[in-house]
Amino acid sequence: MRDALRGLIDQLRLHGMAAVLDAEIERAEREALPPSELLHRLLVQEAAHRRERSLAWRLRQANLPWRWTLDSFPFDRQPAVSKAQIKSLAGLDFLRRAQNILLIGKPGTGKTGLAIGLLREACLNGYRGRFYTAQVLLDELYASLADRSTTRLLTQLGRMQPLCIDELGYLTFKPEQANAFFRLMDQRYNRVSTIITTNLDLPGWYEMFDKKPLVDALIDRLQQQCITIRIDGPSLRSPQAADPPQVVSPRPTRRAGPPQPSPIAS
């Protein structure tokens, strides 16, 4: 019977059950457990296995460049960042409200580290987000124009929750890239959240995009539901900066999902 069960479990690809089948059957026989409890224990193991696989897939899809967490952020060395505010954002209410987060500050103040930490927290809690450097995103948008796949790409990016765009600033936008970027932000407007890090405050975006009407509309959409965090503090790349802290293994602490150079010093 055990061989028959293993054959069925393998056929159904119940890998979580397969890993504990022998041990659970032996325990049930040893402790005279009822069949219902054995079945329950096997199903619990299968559910846990699938959650772990789903989490690993979301983290891979997020394309996180570094395994930083919010617990890793050196709040003690960056007084310009409110730890209480960041911990509040880690509750992910901003995602449910489709609010954007705009992190503005000089290079090295920790914008990228915070953005990655929030994106990682979202992945741990069931969301499917994605990290892009602004240059890579613009290059993908521009390449999609050549093979006419822009609509499909925008549809994919429009579903990312959240979409993290890092280092938006000091870029040279082609007119086509600027238009595609605006289309992306318009498609995400009031539907899903975008996290943007930039070393340019909003008035500097006019020179970057070189299209005043477009920037007016972009800033209007971005700011309507936006949490703006300006980090006017010291660079974390200073010689006094401590070694990077150890990264904690990912463990979701709460279910906040929908029905569905050093990185910290960036």
Q: Return the beta strands (E) in 2-136 as ranges.
A: 100-105, 130-133
Residue 248: half-sphere exposure toward Cβ, Cα within 13 Å? 13
pLDDT of 240: 55
- In contact, 109 and 234? CB cutoff 8 Å: yes
pLDDT tens per residue, range 115-131: 999 999 999 999 999 99
- In contact, 171 and 139? CB cutoff 8 Å: no
Mean pLDDT rounded to a whole number for the chain: 87
pLDDT tens per residue, range 122-176: 999 999 999 999 999 999 999 999 899 999 999 999 999 999 999 998 787 888 8
pLDDT tens per residue, range 209-255: 877 888 888 888 888 889 999 999 999 886 654 444 444 444 444 44
Instruction: Pick the range with the lowest mean pLDDT from 53-67, 200-214, 233-247.
Output: 233-247
How far apart are alpha carbons 70 and 230 in whole angstroms? 18
